[in-house]
Amino acid sequence: PVTWTYTVTNVGNVPLRDVTVSDDQGVAVTCPAAALDVGASMVCTGQGLAREGQYANVGSVTAQDADGRTVSATDPSHYVGFIPATLGDRVFADINPDGTTPQEVLSGNGVQDVGEHGIDGVIVQLYTADHVLVAQTVTRDGGFYEFTDLPPGDYYLVFINPFADGVWTVPNHGDDDVDSDGVPSLPIVVDPGVPGDVIRTDVITLDPGESDHTWDAGLVGYSSSGSSALGDRIWLDQDEDGVQGNAASEPGQEGIPVVLYRVREGGVLQRLRATVSDAAGLYRFGGLDTGSYVLEFLPPAEFRVSPVTSGDDRNLDSDADHTRGRTQTIFLPPLYDDMSWDAGIYTVPTALDGGDEPGQPATHFIYMPLLRR
């Protein structure tokens, strides 16, 4: 609740009694006394709820003089309360998942892609458009930040990277919800008072009640050991086309071993660890450093691995070699979960099925001894 104060002064030339103060908004007003001498003042108080937006109320006082005559006065107290606004979003580790070389991947693309991690510990400052510092916070819980209870108006954000590595990515390179908004060419007028690589946004206009969570900043070249992951799904490829159908017709396969290799100098494969797929066919290797890896899928002898990369969607196709069950070399950047490495498997036809090729007619041979009399 809000506490209102009402100052009552006897400006007449006779003492007053039975002094009563009221408020037209239904606030109960309490005064310290009921009498007021000539020239004396007292402060009365009341508690209530202040509404957002335009608000009007009138305070009234009545009293009686020594002859029983009633005197009164009113005083309007109107105001316009602002509807608070909110501003925020995220600092993320930017890569280019479509890059064809490690250098292209690490150069970033200025857009938040699926699998990119947020970066905690980045300092974010909020300024008014005329360069007055309003508030400061630090990204947390996946790179997120937020400023709340802001009066409507014009602001800008300053992002400060306090780490030894990482540079700010290209700005305004796509959809406002997922691009990076720090612009290197904009001047830093006020010294942020914190060491680190600094970048700021354009001026942001916040309307009353607006909640704007589109202001992001991406860092490229930021490294963090053990920050990435590889994985996804092994499924029963009923039609043997190398593309995942719906889960009902092509379900995930449980218990299929998957081996992770690190690619060392000269292309030598170093076995790191192994896992098996869960009930949904999913597997995951977490806590991985930046570098190059190979995955190997080891289905039972009665299965074969589907054709590699048969579809246009890298999240749905099969990625393992048809004969050895291994993927191509995978470059894994820092702070990235690459959940796009799948393998379809299908059952190998038996001799009674007519051979290895699907769709071939079944041919069965029965051998009988020839007896001569």
Structural fold of domain 85-220 = Immunoglobulin-like (2.60.40)
The predicted model gives 279-288 an average pLDDT of 96
Residue 51 has pLDDT above 90, yes or no: no
Residue 160 has pLDDT above 80, yes or no: yes
Summarised one tens digit per residue, pLDDT across range 311-327 is 677 788 899 998 899 99
Q: Which of 73-87, 114-128, 265-279 has the lowest mean pLDDT?
A: 73-87
Confirm if 169 and 220 have CB atoms less than 8 A apart.
yes
Residue 35 has pLDDT above 90, yes or no: yes
CATH number, domain 2-81: 2.60.40.1230
Instruction: Give the residue range(s) of CATH 2.60.40.1230 domains in the chain.
Output: 2-81
**CA 129 to CA 259: how far, in whole Å?**
55
Summarised one tens digit per residue, pLDDT across range 177-214 is 999 999 999 999 999 998 999 999 999 999 999 999 99
Instruction: Give the residue range(s) of CATH 2.60.40.10 domains in the chain.
Output: 85-220, 228-353
Superfamily of domain 228-353: Immunoglobulins (2.60.40.10)
Query: Widest CA span of the chain, in angstroms?
Result: 153
Residue 362 has pLDDT above 60, yes or no: no
Confirm if 227 and 251 have CB atoms less than 8 A apart.
no
Summarised one tens digit per residue, pLDDT across range 61-115 is 999 999 999 999 999 877 767 789 999 999 999 999 999 899 999 999 999 999 9
**E strand map for 195-281:** 197-200, 204-206, 211-212, 217-220, 228-236, 257-263, 269-276
Summarised one tens digit per residue, pLDDT across range 297-308 is 999 999 999 988
Q: Which residues, in sequence order, are bridge partners of residue 274? A: 259
Summarised one tens digit per residue, pLDDT across range 328-351 is 999 999 999 999 999 999 998 765
Of the CA atoms within 13 Å of residue 136, those in its CB half-sphere come to: 10
Parallel/antiparallel/unpaired status of strands 343-347 and 228-236: parallel
Q: What's the pTM?
A: 0.69
